[in-house]
Amino acid sequence: MSKHVGIDVGGTYTDAVLIHKGRIQQTAKVPTRSENLVDTLMEAFDSLKIADEQALDRITVSTTLVTNAILQERISPVKLLLFSGKGMRLDALPWPVSYRELAGEMDFRGREIEAPDQKEWAELLSPELNENPTRVAIVGKFSHRNCLHEESLANYLSDLNPALRVALGHQWGQANFYRRSLTTYLNLGVSDLYHQFAKQLQTAVSSRKIQAPIYILKADGGCLPLAKIRPIETIYSGPAASILSGLTQLKTTSSSIIVDIGGTTTDLGLILAGVPLLSSKGAQIGPFATLVRSLSVRSIPAGGDSVVRASDQGFVLERYRLGPAYCLGGNAPTPTDAMRYLGLIDYGSERLAEEGLASILPSERRTPQFLKELATAILDKVVERISEAVDSLKQEWQEEPAYKVWEVLHPHENHVFNTLVTGGAARGILTALGKRLKTPVQLGYHAEISNALGAAMARPTFDCTLHLDTHMKQYRVEETGEQGKWTGALRPHREVDGFLDTLVQQQVKNYGIQIDEVEKDPFDFFPIVQNYHTVGQIVHGAAHQRAGVIGRVIV
């Protein structure tokens, strides 16, 4: 571990950190100018005062760009075409987008049982499809076992309209037709926005004569090179960075709840015995259920810049922000103003904080006593909202398979976890949150730039899950959607282990990453029996490098 830069591009601020041999050399926090992201990034680089740009080994970036675009419904229009086949009625599922069903079906092993109707395909070439949208997502129910129908339709449409942007569902190679369809849809819908961001990032790096490779943080807490990432994989990279920041400063066997209190939201996560808890299901973002691997995290709409509005009952803590806190030149009072008035933080104008809080009270109650009571009540409301989310999330965590395994392996361990608090508002809320949660609380190192710290210390994650049908002589890789012919034995043993190793090396080379701690799951072998004879096997195996950090922060 040598010299790394971590950057967290948030909606309000862009944070940056320079780390050399495990020590934090410099930090920076600059306002995010969404309309001019290049200048924002260059200002962040300049604030780090990097003496020798050529000595940088890596730049890792986390961003809320894709997350916010989906939640704010700012994604590009996409037409969703489905080879749904027989079985469950699609309208029984809560689809957040419109779709069109097409004839054509594969069975669960990838055998064609109904050919597509090309007359239907000709009807798809309407003026609407030729003009708007220019993006089409094609997904078959069992395309992860056989992608023939998807690829045939994609080729047909592309031949007739080369400008069409087409995405195929089998490239997200896991089961679950519903989630695979929405993941394919979203990834295509945010691709333009992400590629624009990537271009701006490369421009900013090049303008400062930096040649270090750029990595992007993913929802599972790992990172991949900028050119290899799939845009939708960057959702929840902010919460993931918070978890990684905790890993850099906790003991390797520690179990802790991570609370990252930002300006608009608070992110929550859990570390068990030094390992971030991974969600067994794909990430859920707004109304979209996806196949994106994600840490088990949650974001709640409460932060230091949440608007506090007067009401008949006294005040309301809103779920949104309108810019910086009143004490920092904003237009609306916030919890940050309450913290400043109570002396829990030392930045911002105390006079403006008092002025902002006073605007909530009737004129006859604008006295020090009532102002103090109001500030305390605002702080209590923020703490209550965070604590309720922690209590709720604990129940969800206990249902995760990884949590149940941890309970079996640690039967005598105390389940009252410590809490690590980070984020811009952490210092002001730390004590009150500890009292409410009734757990020991600890302030994270450099709490104000914790996400940038987590990004800087992230290591690449890697998954290669092999599904092999020796009877049909076909294999597939879930993570990449790769499908190919199996030329080995009908009942492979050591042979399949070597084949997985070969796939791993090919995938690592394609990603352009290095892996240090590959874990392998035991292979599962299921016999295929026909007419009382074993005619082949279904084989399932996987290799991983889980989320982690490249080292610990030296204080």
pLDDT 10s digits, 1-20: 589 999 999 877 899 999 99
CB-based contact 149:83 (threshold 8 Å): yes
203 and 325 both lie in a single domain: no
Given this model, what pLDDT does residue 133 score? 60
Residue 131 has pLDDT above 60, yes or no: no
Of 249-253, 268-272, 372-376, which gets the smallest average pLDDT? 249-253
Q: Quick one: tokens of 37?
A: 């992201």
Domain membership of residue 76 (yes or no) is no
Indicate the pLDDT class of residue 275, thresholds 50, 70 and 90: confident
287 and 416 both lie in a single domain: yes
Q: Are strands 474-477 and 441-443 parallel, antiparallel or unpaired?
A: unpaired
Radius of gyration of the chain measured on its C-alpha atoms: 26
219 and 278 both lie in a single domain: yes
443 and 422 both lie in a single domain: yes
376 and 321 both lie in a single domain: yes
Q: Give the distance from CA 485 to its chain's centroid.
A: 33
Q: Which amino acid is at 532?
A: Y
Given this model, what pLDDT does residue 129 score? 57
Concatenating the DSSP letter of every residue in 287-339 gives: TEE-----BS-EEES--TTEEEEEETTEEEEEEEE-SSBGGGT-SB--HHHHH
Residue 128 has pLDDT above 60, yes or no: no
Indicate the pLDDT class of residue 235, thresholds 50, 70 and 90: very high
Of 64-73, 393-402, 495-504, which gets the smallest average pLDDT? 393-402
Question: pLDDT digit string (tens) for 302-315?
Answer: 889 899 999 988 89
Q: Which amino acid is at 339?
A: M
**Region 199-212: what's the mean pLDDT?**
91
Residues linked to residue 245 through DSSP beta bridges, in sequence order: none
Domain membership of residue 552 (yes or no) is no
Percent of all residues in the chain with a pLDDT value above 70, rounded to a whole number: 97
Q: What is the dihedral of CA 544, 548, 549, 554, to 10 degrees?
A: -140
Q: Quick one: tokens of 178?
A: 């519903």
**CA–CA separation, 490 vs 527, rounded Å?**
10
Q: Are strands 214-217 and 58-63 parallel, antiparallel or unpaired?
A: parallel
Q: What is the mean pLDDT of the chain?
A: 90
Q: Left if phi > 0, otherwise alpha if psi is -120 to 50, otherwise beta: which for 229?
A: beta
What length does the chain have?
A: 555
**Region 478-493: what's the mean pLDDT?**
92
**CA–CA separation, 26 vs 406, rounded Å?**
37
Residue 188: how many CB atoms within 10 A of its CB? 24
Question: pLDDT digit string (tens) for 377-389?
Answer: 999 999 999 999 9
CA diameter of the chain: 90
Residue 507 has pLDDT above 90, yes or no: yes
171 and 244 both lie in a single domain: no
407 and 450 both lie in a single domain: yes
Given this model, what pLDDT does residue 412 score? 65
Number of domains the chain is built from: 4
Given this model, what pLDDT does residue 451 score? 92
- Domain stops at, among 431, 456, 481: 456
Q: Quick one: tokens of 461?
A: 């994650």
Name the residue with tokens 């809103």.
318
**CA–CA separation, 133 vs 128, rounded Å?**
7
Question: pLDDT digit string (tens) for 37-81?
Answer: 899 999 999 999 988 888 899 999 999 889 888 988 889 999 999
Domain membership of residue 301 (yes or no) is no
310 and 371 both lie in a single domain: yes
232 and 319 both lie in a single domain: no
Domain membership of residue 233 (yes or no) is yes
Domain membership of residue 437 (yes or no) is yes
Of 209-223, 271-285, 532-546, which gets the smallest average pLDDT? 271-285
pTM: 0.89
Q: Show the domain range for 380.
A: 306-386
Given this model, what pLDDT does residue 414 score? 66
- Domain stops at, among 153, 186, 219: 186
Given this model, what pLDDT does residue 215 score? 96
Given this model, what pLDDT does residue 299 score? 83
The per-type count for the chain, helices as H runs and strands as E runs, is 15, 27
| Closest-CA residue to 81 (of 147, 143, 138) | 138
The CATH code of the domain that includes 258 is 3.30.420.40
223 and 361 both lie in a single domain: no
Residues linked to residue 136 through DSSP beta bridges, in sequence order: 79, 166
Given this model, what pLDDT does residue 313 score? 83
Domain membership of residue 173 (yes or no) is yes
Residue 317: how many CB atoms within 10 A of its CB? 18
Q: Quick one: tokens of 29?
A: 């926090």
Of 15-29, 83-97, 314-328, 404-418, which gets the smallest average pLDDT? 404-418
- Domain stops at, among 145, 160, 186: 186
